[in-house]
Structure 1
């Protein structure tokens, strides 16, 4: 009995970090202004930079192996205690307590790290408040103008990419019939289907351009430099250390889970799915770096990623950012004025439409119950962290885009 009592007391100490984290979370919710001043701008940039320093030194994702190790630990933990219960006989009560205490200790410490490395940032001031963007209801005309401007920018940047690559393909790239891309990510309904000759030839150009620039590693460095440059405009994005985005070895698994990227607070890493078309990757890098900068709301991370990309010196990065913004703006326009959305989408160049169709074809092969379950889990996670609209909060990026457009006029 004395042995059991001593074991219980020792394991109870591991619950203290979780209790402290719960208390800090409660305090953070009471005053977003205090959370912003004390934690988000004061404590977080430094402790996250220190915590993430060692993982930042390697080019591969520490997070992916941490997840593998944790899953192996869970499997071993389960097997060990099943065997211990089978052999325990008179000590089965102590065995069950040990199992529960171990599980509670891991959860307590894990939650404390999560809270300190990102969780408290859910209760900070919004990026719009920090940057001075005015969010308000906008007219359909403003939304149409936004989509038109984004479409024009996409066409221009995609042409810049093609010009840099300077591929003729012996006349393969030519004018296709005027049509509308049938896939819009995040839209409630699709636009009319279209066909486009030589989609593969078009869609290969961004990948060739990226490879010529140095591939993923070069773009990871570029993403950090772009975020540093953006931090000069918006100092709230400044931090001592920006850990470069990391490619995930198990990217196909992420595709089945419908995950383009993931910020992992336990190593302070921005992990990127590299299995799809490359033109989507720079915007994903910007999004995940925004999380690293302490902005955890998905709509804000998308917007910050877009801002980071649009002011880059690299045309493919700019194209990626405009493509991300266009997805959400056009989705909103489809719900508001479908005919206007069809008209705007019809102005996209053949090359842009080919890229979007290649992305849609890639994503289509991963549709199914696994992706649906992953989205449901993500929805629950967002709601648990006070994003009460769940995944619907992604649509709020359009309000930020419109506010930025008004500020630029």
Structure 2
């Protein structure tokens, strides 16, 4: 029986999924031939092509594709209803093409060598080590807040524009690449999303468009959080897919920046994750440590809480559940909770490189 090209592409989705999982088990193969082989070429090519454009081409592409899909369904609703099997075949064909393109252009990075292994870090979940590290972070965050504001009761206001923050983030990447030999960042393509309001309602601080390799940052974020998120999304561009690893890279790049505002943003960012882990373990210890924070630091944390609270809506948990399922399907078993796994990386790193 002769199978049409469209049917063949649609049917290829299942063997593609199987093949990706099989190849994904070969971490060294992925690291050598994809993450350090094909992907850097693809990534640099698309960052060169689109990085100079001041707006997000990927956002426009997504918007147009959604409009085309809705227009097609509305225009062809009767033929679709009469030929449901054919319509399902066409959907599978599109999914098959998207699945293939996604993995070639970025997705195989989910199966690469962990950054802890690359840096020789030994991660642990020792609660006392976490407490000790958090105390050091509190001291550093308080010191930076006071050094910047000269008043422990005043919150830090980062005075840079978003484009200036993008530029300054490159300095941190340069410094880290000299220190550890990676990650090296060239040909920047980092932009604020055209749909930042929508991202805020979905509960997202940013994302990488895997089809244009543009790092998208939620332009409505307070500047207090903007530097770390920008560095996080740039880390995705360099082929680090796991959210705990890009959280770590975002922190590291921002913390190593010579700018005090960046150092404060990074320190407070890491502190938030550490305090969250401590709170889950022992509320009393959390309350004690939280009480040691300068009032100005607390105001910055409140600034972030107020921001996300202002966008809370009934659909936000749905969007987060979808994203969590996406992460689980791509080798991140903890789903959206993998963001919090950055804590063990932070503790392990600063055992080797003390604060």
Task: Provide the TM-score with structure 1 as the length reference.
Answer: 0.80
2:118 — aligned with what? 130
CA offset at residue 13 of structure 1?
Answer: 6.0
Q: Over alpha carbons, which structure has the higher Rg?
A: 1
Question: Which residue is equivalent to 1:74?
Answer: 69
Alignment of 1:323 with 2:246, yes or no, is: no
SS in 1 for 2:265: helix
Aligned to 1:251: 196
Identify the residue that residue 136 of structure 2 maps to in structure 1: 149
Aligned equivalents of 1:13 and 1:233: distance in 2? 49
The residue that corresponds to 2:332 in the other structure is: 387
- 1:190 corresponds in structure 2 to none
Q: Please tell me whether residue 230 in structure 1 is matched to residue 176 in structure 2.
A: yes
Asked if the contact 2:47/2:189 (under 8 Å) is kept, the reply is no
- Structure 2 equivalent of residue 282 of structure 1: 227
Structure 1 gap segments, 5+ residues each:
87-91, 164-173, 177-201
Residues 1:334 and 2:279 aligned together: yes
Q: CA deviation at 1:287?
A: 1.1
1:16 deviates by: 8.7
CA distance in 2, matches of 1:32, 1:12: 32
2:108 corresponds in structure 1 to 120
CA offset at residue 33 of structure 1?
1.3
RMSD: 2.4
- Whether 1:366 aligns to 2:293 is no
Match of 2:257 in 1: 312
Deviation string 1:220-272 (CA, Å, 9 cap, x unpaired) is 11113322322223334235x44332112321211110001111101101111
Q: Quick check: 1:49 aligned with 2:44?
A: yes
Instruction: Say whether the 8 Å CA contact 1:17–1:112 is kept in structure 2.
Output: no
Residue 325 of structure 1 deviates from its aligned partner by 0.6
1:119–1:307 Cα change, 3 Å: same
| C-alpha deviation, 1:326, in angstroms | 0.6
Provide the secondary structure at the position in 2 that maps to 1:278. coil
Counterpart contact for 1:224–1:244, Cα < 8 Å: no
- Say whether 1:161 aligns with 2:156: no
Alpha-carbon separation, structure 2, partners of 1:281 and 1:361: 15
Structure 1 consecutive aligned stretches of length 4 or more whose deviation exceeds 4 Å: 12-21
How far is the alpha carbon of 1:278 from its aligned partner? 0.9
Q: Contact 2:192 / 2:216 at 8 angstroms: preserved in 1?
A: yes
Task: Sort the Cα spacing of 1:28 and 1:228 in 2 relative to 1 into closer, same or farther, 3 A.
Answer: farther
> Offset at 1:30?
2.5
Which residue in 1 is equivalent to 2:20? 25
Does structure 2 retain, via aligned residues, the 8 Å contact 1:144–1:333? yes
Rounded Cα–Cα distance in structure 1 between residues aligned with 2:204 and 2:97: 26
User: Does the Cα contact within 8 Å between 1:161 and 1:206 map onto a contact in 2?
Assistant: no
**Shift in Å, 1:17:** 7.9
Q: Any idea what the Cα deviations from partners look like across 1:368-396, whole Å, max 9, x if unmatched?
A: 32211111111111111121122222222
- In the TM superposition, what whole-angstrom CA distance separates every residue of 1:167-199 from its partner, at most 9, and x where no partner exists? xxxxxxx776xxxxxxxxxxxxxxxxxxxxxxx
1:270–1:161 Cα change, 3 Å: farther
Note the C-alpha offset of 1:44: 0.9
Structure 2: state its 5+ residue gaps.
Answer: none
What is the CA–CA distance in structure 2 between the aligned matches of 1:30 and 1:143, rounded to whole Å?
A: 31
Instruction: Return the alpha-carbon distance in structure 2 between the equivalents of residues 218 and 128 of structure 1.
Output: 30
Q: CA deviation at 1:288?
A: 0.9
Give 1:270's aligned residue.
215
Q: Structure 1 28/222 Cα, relative in aligned 2: closer, same or farther at 3 Å?
A: farther
Query: CA contact under 8 A between 1:226 and 1:309: conserved in structure 2?
Result: yes
Could you say which residue in structure 1 is the equivalent of 2:93?
105
**Residue in 2 that maps onto 1:192:** none
Alignment of 1:186-265 (within 5 A): 202-203=154-155, 205-207=156-158, 209-210=159-160, 215-238=161-184, 241-265=186-210
